[in-house]
Amino acid sequence: QLAPTLSDDDIRFCCLIKINVNMQDLSDIYCVSKAAITKRKYRLKTEKFNIDDSTINLDTILQEIN
């Protein structure tokens, strides 16, 4: 409901973040660099969740969702 445009892969990625999978493990799972994970988190936050506030990150947003 919060972000209806999320793809299935976006939802899986967000679930991994929600269960506190660290940056290194995310980069290993997706076979990409840590920079690519950081960019993906930023794109999800700004494009899918429509949050432009630079003081809050995607991890915090997802942890607050029940």
pTM of the entire predicted model: 0.85
What are the backbone dihedrals phi and psi of residue 41, each rounded to the nearest 5 degrees, phi first? Answer: -60, -45
Q: 34-63, pLDDT tens digit by residue?
A: 999 999 999 999 888 888 888 888 888 888
Residue type, 64: E
Task: Centre a 10 Å sphere on the Cβ of residue 66 and count the other Cβ atoms it contains.
Answer: 3
Confidence of residue 1 (pLDDT cuts 50, 70, 90): low
